[in-house]
Structure formats: C-alpha cells, structure tokens
Amino acid sequence: MKKGIITVVGKDCVGITAKVCTYLAENQINILDISQTIVQNYFNMMMVVDMDKTEKKFSEVAEELKEVGLSIGVDVHCQNEEIFEKMHRL
Amino acid sequence: MINVFEVNETNKMIQEENLDVRTITLGISLLDCVDSNLDVLNQNIYDKITTTAKDLVKVGEEIEQEFGIPIVNKRISITPVSLVGASACKSPDDYVSIAKTLDRAAKAVGINFIGGYSALVSKAMTKSEEYLIRSIPKALASTEFLCSSVNVGSTKTGINMDAVKLCGEIVKETARMTKENDSCGCSKLVIFCNAPDDNPFMAGAFLGVTEGDAVINVGVSGPGVVKRALEKVRGENFEVLCETIKKTAFKVTRVGQLVAGKASQKLGVPFGIVDLSLAPTPTIGDSVAEILEEIGLERVGAPGTTAALALLNDQVKKGGVMASSYVGGLSGAFIPVSEDQGMIDAVLEGALTLEKLEAMTCVCSVGLDMIAIPGKTSAATISGIIADEMAIGMINQKTTAVRIIPVIGKDVGEQAEFGGLLGYAPIMPVNEFSCEKFIGRGGRIPAPIHSFKN
C-alpha cells in the first residue's frame, strides 16, 4: 500500500478538516488514521492516508493539497510515508 | 505505525533546521563520444548529455514534492574531459570549444553545474592533458555552469610538482580573467590529491574511469540539524556528544539513501553512492562552524578546533555508514570559508588563520576551500599552498583539495563577493616569504613509503 502522511498546521477556524477531507474523498484517497490537537488556538492535525486508488501522481496531490491549505490559511503538507519510515525505523 | 512526534521531528528538521539533499548528481560517461574530429566530438557530447539527463531536473522536482524535502542542486559529472578530448584537441582553444559545448548542454537540461572539465595528472601530464589545464582560465571565463578540477597527486604516485607549478599559474590566470567578478572563476576550480571517482559535490565532481555508463550519486547535508541536536546536550561528556552526532548523522543519511534510491528508480540509472557530508551554506543556522562552537569553542580557530573537527568528522561517518548501502565521495565535514557564516565571522574576528585551516584539513574531508587571498599573491606562493595541501593528502592517504581565490585588485581588510551558495569572503593574509626556488625545481615528489603495500 502506498501511504501518505498529511500534516495540517495553522490558526484554527471552521471547516479545516472538512475542506481537506472533501479533497481526499474527491480523489479516492482513503483515511487510515487521524490525530488532531489544538494548542493555544493552533490547529495541528496528522493523517495517514492510502494513496493506492487515486489516479493522480503523488507530487500532484501534494501540490493541490498545499493550495487547498492556502485557500483557508493553513499549511498543508502531504509526504510519502517512506521518508518517516526510513528515518525512524530500522 | 509512524507517530505524530516522529513526523514532527522530521518536518522540523526540514522546515527549521535546513535539512536538505544538497545534490543529486548524475554521472555520465563520455568515453563512447570520443572521435578524432572535434566537431563530431562536440556533437556526440552534446547529444549524450542532453539525452541521458533530459529528465534529471523533472525527476528531482517530483521527488522534492513527494517527500517534502528540498533538493538544492541537480548536477552532472562527466568523464574527465582530458581523456575524452585527447585525440581531437590539438590546442588549448580546441578544449575551450568542448567547454562551451558542455555549458550549452548544461543549460539545455536545466541543471545547476556540470563538473568534469578535469585532468588526472598525479604522476605526469600528456601533451593533451597539459592543453586542457592551460585552457582552464579561458574555459571558466567563457562558461557559466562549468566546473573544473585537476588531480595532481596521490598516495600511490606521489605529487606531480610540474603540475603543481602549472596549477599555481592557472589559478592566478583564472583569477585575472574573471577579475570583474572578484575573480570568481577560481571558485569553480579545484586542485586535488587522491580525488575520488564518485564525488557528487562541486566544484570537484567528475565521473572516474572506474565507473559505469551512468550513475546516480547523492550528497546529503544538514549542519543545522546536528547543531540543534547538540544544543540539547550542552555540558554533557564526550560519550553523549558523540552518540548524539552519530544518531543525527544516521537520520540525515537515511533521507539521502531514500532520495538516491528513488532517483535511480525513476531515471532508470543505477545508484552509486551517498556522500555523507556536512555541507554548509551562507544561511544562518546552516553552518559547520556553529557546530564546532556548540561543541565548546568560543570561535572556530581557537585551540581545540582541530580535535573538535576530528571527532565531528568521525562521528558523522560512523552514523552515516550504517544508514546507506554504499558510501563514497568525500564524506565528512566541509569547511569552506565563504560558504559558512560562522567561518566568515571567525576570520573577521581574527580567530581563524590560513595556517589553522590547513591543520583542520588534516582531519576532515576536502581541504582549503573557498578561501580568498590577496590578488598580489604570486603564482609560486599559490603553488606552495597547493603543494602543502597535496602533501597532507598523500601522507595521510586521504583526499585533500585546494580551492583558493586570489582576488585581483583586493587586499587584506577587503571582502570578495561571489553571490548565491558561494557566499562572500574576507581576504585572508598569506605568509609572504618566498617558496619560488622550491616550486621551480620541477619533477615529482616520490610516493611515500607506506604506499608500498603489495
């Protein structure tokens, strides 16, 4: 399975999760895990997603999610899980 | 499964601590381009480079986006041009025409630098290799992306002092021909001892003859990440210090290994090596000097600097070696002056001298790097500086190099500006006693006794 890690950081407002999840649903990206906290009004979310079914390239999804983030004033990063696996697991 | 702390740690390294992949370097062999007709040779070279490297920049950008890690440079290293041009080039100007072809090819594929305008003359020079070396000033003055290097010594062969003498003159001439830009042509010229065949870093990259048709070599970086990690262990003993550097180097190198693997897969080119180097940039917080200060020196150059650098270099290698399947290139800590704000500050405050830098090169990778000296320095003195550095490499069985810039029209107290990744440098004083008679002897220094291991 090709997994992606999506991180969302920014000032909290209504509809951040909705906006990101709508994009994912439209592109056949399944959410496997979500953790989310709000620290001093700052929204901090991490998602693990399954990218197998989407027809788009990883780099395209990353770019489009970044734009979704910009439209609501938060930073969205979508990265291939491998970079974290490589760095933190033997 | 990966947890949020691990994700945040990695992203903090990238976003706040300047972790990046410094370069993906595609090595391309030009041996099959050889022709005795110069025009045919030039066309063959242009075609081979633009075909083999056509996707390099695109693939690099895709990887950047997929993993969210910046890849600062996409570069090409080629077979030393003195070998490729030997049968077609009958004069230095013939070689300059190849230099221009390489520059055009580099521009066409959109890379940052192309390295390999090189000659390997550690024992002696052929006529053709001498033409190439003599063409370097003009080649560097008339191109934008080209980098050049000359290997003038090795532990196995000794030091070719005729080449050392010539290189001193060539450095000076290159400085003269690019004097409008603070002699910055010299920032693209490296004189080596024991040059590695698979180095991905510029200006000294070339693809050695021991290599295959094409290969992907990757250079990682991350002085900022090491510095931040060390801030957390202030005052702890050397065991804790060394363990921290090792663990950090491991993590940084893993990213390099991942990127190298991906690039190799996407380009259909075999993976060569990861170069485990701490390569600084002029950005604040991306400095090797700051690591040395964090280890406990008030300024780089203070007593203890060589020891601190030795342990840093060794721990980076120990941590990195297990993180990558193949390690090579220069691997260690780079200590360029102009590309490292901490080094620049140390020079400006009088803490760091040319002589201390020379001592530091005994225990780290590369050598006297990006050092600006007065433009009035004689060619023989530059050759003397080169000879000293080559001797360190030869005797210690390590790579050493000299990338020194005699800034024409400037003297101690002034500054040279190179721009971009190359930064700026205060002009450092050079010992003014002459070595002209020594350099003028001619011939070569024999290989050291410990090179006879058969």
Arithmetic mean of pLDDT, B323-329: 91
Residues of B within 8 A of A59 (CB-CB) are 61-62, 65-66
Element (H, E) at B401: strand B400-407
Instruction: Output the pLDDT for position B420.
Output: 74
What tokens appear for B90 in the block?
């009958």
**Distances B126 to B78, B90, B91, B120, B439 between C-alpha atoms, Å:** 20, 12, 13, 10, 20
What tokens appear for B186 in the block?
């010299």
Greatest alpha-carbon span in chain B: 68
Instruction: Output the pLDDT for position B282.
Output: 85
Greatest alpha-carbon span in chain A: 40
The structural domains of chain B, with segments of one domain joined by +, span: 20-193, 219-439
CATH topology for the B20-193 domain: Anaerobic Ribonucleotide-triphosphate Reductase Large Chain (3.20.70)
What tokens appear for A51 in the block?
């990218």
Alpha-carbon distance of B258 to B282, in angstroms, equals 26
A22 vs B: CB within 8 A: no
Residue of B nearest to A32 (CA): B1
pLDDT band at A90 (very low <50, low <70, confident <90, very high): confident
Instruction: Output the pLDDT for position B336.
Output: 93
Instruction: Count residue pairs from A and B with Cβ separation < 8 A.
Output: 60
pLDDT tens by residue, B152-168: 999 999 999 999 999 99
Residue B8: other Cβ atoms inside 10 A: 15
Instruction: Tell me which of B88-92, B118-122, B275-279, B426-430 is least confident.
Output: B275-279
pLDDT tens by residue, B265-279: 999 999 999 998 898
Domain that holds residue A50: 3-88
Residues of B within 8 A of A46 (CB-CB) are 4, 7
Arithmetic mean of pLDDT, B361-386: 94
How close does chain A come to B65, measured CA to CA in Å? 5
How close does chain A come to B61, measured CA to CA in Å? 9
Alpha-carbon distance of B351 to B322, in angstroms, equals 36
The CATH number for A69's domain is: 3.30.70.260
Residue contact A59–B62, C-beta within 8 A: yes
Instruction: Output the pLDDT for position A39.
Output: 82
Residues of A within 8 A of B67 (CB-CB) are 79-80, 82-83
- B interface toward A at CB cutoff 8 Å? 1-2, 4, 6-11, 61-62, 65-69, 251, 254-255, 257-258
Residue of B nearest to A86 (CA): B254
Is B219-439 the same fold as B20-193?
A: yes
Residues of A within 8 A of B4 (CB-CB) are 35, 46
Alpha-carbon distance of B259 to B256, in angstroms, equals 5
Task: Name the average pLDDT for chain A.
Answer: 92
A67 vs B: CB within 8 A: no
Number of domains in chain A: 1
Arithmetic mean of pLDDT, A52-68: 92
Residues of A within 8 A of B257 (CB-CB) are 86
CB B356 within 8 A of CB B368: no
Instruction: Output the pLDDT for position B454.
Output: 81
**Distant-in-sequence, close-in-space partners of B316: CB < 8 Å, separation ≥ 6:** B226, B245, B246, B249, B276, B277, B278, B331, B332, B333
pLDDT band at B2 (very low <50, low <70, confident <90, very high): confident
**Distant-in-sequence, close-in-space partners of B428: CB < 8 Å, separation ≥ 6:** B337, B347, B353, B354, B371, B372, B373, B412
Residue contact B2–A7, C-beta within 8 A: no
Residue contact B68–A79, C-beta within 8 A: yes
What is the four-CA torsion angle of B107, B190, B261, A83, rounded to 10 degrees? -100
User: Does pLDDT of B419 surpass 80?
Assistant: no
How close does chain A come to B53, measured CA to CA in Å? 20
Which class would CATH give B219-439?
A: alpha beta
Element (H, E) at B238: helix B238-267
A33 vs B: CB within 8 A: yes
